[in-house]
Every structure is written in structure tokens, then in C-alpha cells.
Structure 1
Amino acid sequence: MIADSPSTTTRIVTLTMNPALDITTRTEQVRHTDKIRCGPARHDPGGGGINVARVAAALGASVSAVFPTGGLTGARIVELLRREKVDQRHVPIADITRESLTVDESSTGRQYRFVLPGPTLTASEQTACLEALESAAAGAELVVASGSLPPGVTPDFYQRVSDLCRAHGALYVLDASGGGLTHLRSGVHLLKPSLRELRECTGQALETDDEQLAAAHELIDRGCAANVLISRGGDDALLASALGSQRFPALRCAPGSGVGAGDALVAGVTVGLSRAWPLPDSVRLGMAAGAAMLLTPGTAACRPNDVWRLFDRTSAPVELAANRR
């Protein structure tokens, strides 16, 4: 493990098992079989937990990012995070960190995203990541695990992180999909699936609010999570807890790139929780951070002034206690 360690205990620690060097560019039109001439490229450090750490740091939180890194792309992520002054603990791996490509089509406003599977992590590299996380999480209040699991990582890995958090008394926030979500058993304070991820997890269409909340409450009743926040793109978000359900009105912003909006949502909620805010107020901050991502280029972290301005525009959640089941 190689660390850029802060002098004081970090309050928020993020884990990104499948980081990416995010490349964003623009072209007039995307056409098959043609050579596509693109504009200048923007490079950002990416992957769920890294994006959460960048936004949390921009909002003034004490945060440290833990992630594996390999090859030139991994070194570039380390460099870019240092430029943003985001504390990091990176674990060297043999394989090469992936790249992700986003192409904005000027003629239509469409966005094309190309996401690679990522490097294969050995069992010893996975153990090293957990050891780095345990070191960083000592004394931390919140641990956020976010993003996909790369090839080679066991599907129960996020449950192992949950067990680690419980041992250290840290609240666990999880944003996962696929096996990382379906193999979850217990210990999550806040689970943040997108609607697509929740549908994939349950195998159901979940067309209505009631059906979506019922699926969320089933996860709570099974003991997987204490709270489940369902993000639905530009639509209202839904929060399920043991006490009932709430709908959080979406903020309307000028159209822009939605890349990283879900991670910014998680970051805002986590920052609120780190400041001992009630969960509903923390979700409102998350909604503001997610909306603020539409105002930045590529996957650049949202600007604090935009977040706080939009936070002032958020509405109180709508209670949906009748939809408990």
C-alpha cells in the first residue's frame, strides 16, 4: 500500500475496487465503420468510490480514497488525484487499470459511454485491498464502497467489507450492482441502488413506486441494509427505512452530462451523515450534488457553490408511509 496520509483521522473512507481513467471527448456525429475525428480529450480519475471521494473533498469533507492501481493508467489516476489534493491509499497490482470512454455527439446531444471490464485481481491483491481499507478505516466514521467488482474478485467481497466495517464501528454506505449486490447479507447502513440495479437484483420489472419501495423494504426486512435509497436518473429518488418511505423531488437543471451524478448523490449523502445531519437532510444534499454534476464538463467534480445553491432549492421529502409494503 502507498498512502498520501492526512495528519488527522479521516472521517470518510471510500473504496473503489475497479477504478478507471475516464476520458471524455466530443465529435459531430458517431457513425459505424467510419473513422471518427474527435475534439480534445479530458482525463479524470474515475470509478465509483473515487468519484465519491472527489465530490466529498470538494465539499470540504475529510476523506481518503482506497483503490488498486496498475500500469500507466493507474499512475495517471494517482497523479490526477494528487492534483485535486484528494488523500489516497493505492494498492499496486500487476494488471493494468482500465480506461472508460465517453463521447458526446454534438449533432444530436446524445452521449455514448464505453466501459471496459477492468483488470483481473489475484486473491493476494484482493487481500491487500482489504488490509489497506482496514488501515484507512481505523477510527473513520463512514466507509463508502462504490462501483463494479473487477474480474477475479469474489462476488461476496462487499459483504467482507461490511464485516470489516462492523468490526471497526464504521457506518457502511454501499453502491453496488451485480454479484456485489445479490451476495449482500447484512451490515449496510445505507444501500444506494439505481432503479436498473434494483430490477436486476430482484428480477422484477418494478414499474411503480409501490413495487420499487416493496423491493427496497424486502432488502431491509432481510437485514441487508437499514436504509435503501433508490436513484432514478433525473426523476425523484425514493428512500425506504424501517420507519416508512419518502420521495425526494428531483431538481430540474439545464441538460448536461449525467456521468458521475449517482456517485455525487452518494457523496452528498455521506457528507451530510458525517456532519451528523438527519438522513432526509443528507439525501437532500445528495440530490443537490447529483444535479450539480450536470453543470460540469465530463466527469469533473461538481462545484461547491453549485451544490449549495441547488441545496437551497431542494424540497422537503414527501412522506409515503402508506406505501410501506
Structure 2
Amino acid sequence: MIYTVTFNPALDYVVRLPALELGLVNRTESEEVQLGGKGVNVSCVLRQLGQESVALGFVAGFTGKAIEDGLAQRGVRTEFIRLPGGLSRINVKIKAAAETEINGLGPAMDGAALEALCKKLDGLRQGDVLVLAGSIPRSLPGDTYEKILARLEKKQVLCVVDATRELLVNVLKYRPFLIKPNDHELGEIFGRTLSGDGEVRQCAEELQRRGARNVLVSMAGRGALLLDELGGVHRVDAHRGSVKNSVGAGDSMVAGFLAGYLTTRDYAYALRLGSACGSATAFSDGLATRAEIEALMGEDV
């Protein structure tokens, strides 16, 4: 089974307008409510690909109930921990001449809540997949990802970590199955701006040396690069299309990679499917659908 963890899932209120004028009343041309959170996105795209998953994390208030109901409607199983106070966050995504985001804070989580999550994770078994994606809320310790991976270290769970800077670097000693930085995040880790595949590969190889089994680097319009644990180097170019949405593209790539790998054990195919999923989301107003993914793959998935 695949388990995704979203510490701070959200409702994303997406509004579209010709231009955003500060200090004035702005009227939208359209609006919609989407489910938000990196792990939530992974679970939703996995469902499109026919892969079952369990979405874990924390919810609170009426917004938390709406998140649970929305995932149930999409066929995603949830086992969120309900917090006694606060509200799951509402994020405002403004799509005008440029994209602007106002992200909510979300409910406070304490040590007891974290331990309740860890006890759920104690039930994972060899061969299960755990996806840890995104930042850690300020109310939790900064080493939360490390503690989770340390707790699972002997269970032979396939751990996927999609995080930035120290959050990512500090878990490498636990040999995560997959990490997925983008090229800018990869450069931040090493304090440099990366130009060209050679520099990206050099930094990705260093993260492998530090413990990552597979390193998948997304590079937006330049495609993606994968260094697999067997010594293979795989490269795909970006798909051609009009980018409408940057939210969830990286999460969609993670979902596609996992679905491709788990069904074929073929890293090259997993990269192709991951790339198609990421692009399909980028070319859509929301998360990719199966039909959109298959159109980019040129085949059934």
C-alpha cells in the first residue's frame, strides 16, 4: 500500500481575474475550490492511475471535514487525525497576469498529535510506500521527517521525500527510496545556480553518495533527469504545451513515477510516466486526469 502524509492539507480557493489591482475591489471571472497539499495531490493523481493509497495527516474544523469528503468523492481513502481545535487552512490562489498565493496557517499540532500519526505509521510493512511531501508546520519539531524515517528504518518501507534544503538533506542518512528536488532546489542545497545537465547531474550524484537511492530532478521546461540506484542515468525532454498551472505538477510527477515503478519495476518507464503526469497537471486548470496523462504518453497507462 502507498501512504501519503500531508501535515497541513488545505482547501485551495482558486480565483481567476484579468488583473490584480491592490487597494481596489477586484471581481473574479471564475472561481473554484480544489483540494490542496502535496501528499493529497499525490494521492489524487495515483487514483487517476488506478493506484490505491491512504492519505494521512491532520485535519480540523469544518474545512477538515470538507477535505475528507472531497477526497472520498475522488475515491481516495483517508485516515486523517482530527485535531480538537482550529481549522484546516484555506489557501487563496489568485491567477491573473501573474500567479499570487496566500497560504493559511492551519491548526496547531502538538507532540501528542505527532505520536498518534507515528503510531499509524508503525503499522507499515515491508514493501509499503510512504510519501513525505512538503514543509513541516511550525508547531512541530524541525526534525520530524528524520524521526519518522528513523522509526521506519528497519521495516524496509520505500520512503519518498519531496522537501527542500535541510529537510531533504537531513534524511539522506536513512537511504530514502526516492527524493525529488527541482533544479532550483537542488542548487539551493549546494549554494549555487545550476546551468546545464552536467551540473544538475553532478549535484544529484552527490545526493546519491549521501544516501538517496534514486534522485529525480524536475527541470520545468527542460524536462527531467533521473539517477537510479542501479547506476542508470535517464533523461526526458519536456512535453510541448501551454502551461496553465504550476500547483501540483511536481506532486503529479512523484505519483506518476511511483505508479510506473510499482507496476513495471522499470525506471525509464517510471520517469516517462512521471514526466507525463507532471506536464498534464501543468497544462490543466487542476490535477491531471488519466485521459490527459494518456494523451501525453501516447498509450494507455
The TM-score normalised by the length of structure 1 is 0.85
8 A contact 2:125–2:156 mirrored in 1: no
Go from structure 1 to structure 2 and tell me whether the alpha carbon gap of 1:52 and 1:138 turns closer, same or farther (over 3 Å shift).
Answer: same
Find the counterpart in structure 2 of residue 67 from structure 1: 57
8 A contact 1:12–1:140 mirrored in 2: no
- The 2-side partners of 1:123 and 1:133 are apart by 15
- The 1-side partners of 2:195 and 2:86 are apart by 41
Find the counterpart in structure 1 of residue 228 from structure 2: 241
| Paired amino acid for 2:130 | V
Kindly indicate whether residue 216 of structure 2 is the aligned counterpart of residue 229 of structure 1: yes
Find the counterpart in structure 2 of residue 181 from structure 1: 168
Kindly indicate whether residue 234 of structure 2 is the aligned counterpart of residue 275 of structure 1: no
Find the counterpart in structure 2 of residue 208 from structure 1: 196
- Equivalent position to 1:147, from 134, 149, 173: 134
- The 1-side partners of 2:107 and 2:198 are apart by 39
User: Over the residues paired in the alignment, what is the CA RMSD in angstroms?
Assistant: 1.9
- The 2-side partners of 1:194 and 1:178 are apart by 11
Structure with more relative contact order (C-alpha pairs < 8 Å, separation 6 or more):
1
- The 2-side partners of 1:174 and 1:57 are apart by 20
Find the counterpart in structure 2 of residue 307 from structure 1: 293
8 A contact 1:95–1:121 mirrored in 2: no
| Paired amino acid for 2:74 | E
**Aligned ranges 1:71-86 → 2 under 5 Å:** 71-86=61-76
Kindly indicate whether residue 91 of structure 2 is the aligned counterpart of residue 97 of structure 1: no
- The 2-side partners of 1:95 and 1:151 are apart by 15
| Paired amino acid for 1:146 | A
For residue 24 of structure 1, report the CA deviation from its aligned partner: 0.8
- The 2-side partners of 1:235 and 1:31 are apart by 33
- The 2-side partners of 1:245 and 1:274 are apart by 19
Find the counterpart in structure 2 of residue 5 from structure 1: none
For residue 198 of structure 1, report the CA deviation from its aligned partner: 1.7
8 A contact 1:15–1:133 mirrored in 2: no
**1:60 alignment partner, SS class:** coil
- The 1-side partners of 2:106 and 2:183 are apart by 24
Once the two structures are superposed, what CA deviation does each residue of 1:118-153 show, in whole Å capped at 9, x if it has no partner?
433211111112222333x34653111111111122
8 A contact 1:100–1:116 mirrored in 2: yes
After TM superposition, the structure 1 stretch with the greater mean CA deviation from structure 2, 42-51 or 231-240, is 231-240
Find the counterpart in structure 2 of residue 266 from structure 1: 254
For residue 20 of structure 1, report the CA deviation from its aligned partner: 1.6
After TM superposition, the structure 1 stretch with the greater mean CA deviation from structure 2, 234-243 or 47-56, is 234-243
Structure 1, unmatched stretches of 5+, are 1-10, 314-325
Find the counterpart in structure 2 of residue 3 from structure 1: none
- The 2-side partners of 1:191 and 1:97 are apart by 27
For residue 244 of structure 1, report the CA deviation from its aligned partner: 4.7
- The 1-side partners of 2:114 and 2:88 are apart by 14
Kindly indicate whether residue 37 of structure 2 is the aligned counterpart of residue 51 of structure 1: no
Structure 2, unmatched stretches of 5+, are none
Once the two structures are superposed, what CA deviation does each residue of 1:150-176 show, in whole Å capped at 9, x if it has no partner?
112222222223234433322111111
- Identity across matched positions, percent: 29
Go from structure 1 to structure 2 and tell me whether the alpha carbon gap of 1:283 and 1:161 turns closer, same or farther (over 3 Å shift).
Answer: farther
| Paired amino acid for 2:200 | Q
For residue 291 of structure 1, report the CA deviation from its aligned partner: 1.1
| Paired amino acid for 1:102 | K
8 A contact 2:59–2:88 mirrored in 1: yes
For residue 68 of structure 1, report the CA deviation from its aligned partner: 0.6
| Paired amino acid for 1:228 | V
Find the counterpart in structure 2 of residue 251 from structure 1: 239
8 A contact 1:66–1:133 mirrored in 2: no
Once the two structures are superposed, what CA deviation does each residue of 1:248-277 show, in whole Å capped at 9, x if it has no partner?
111112332121111100000011122133
For residue 117 of structure 1, report the CA deviation from its aligned partner: 4.3
Find the counterpart in structure 1 of residue 274 from structure 2: 286
- The 1-side partners of 2:126 and 2:210 are apart by 28
Once the two structures are superposed, what CA deviation does each residue of 1:277-306 show, in whole Å capped at 9, x if it has no partner?
311211110111111113432x3x311111
**1:306 alignment partner, SS class:** helix
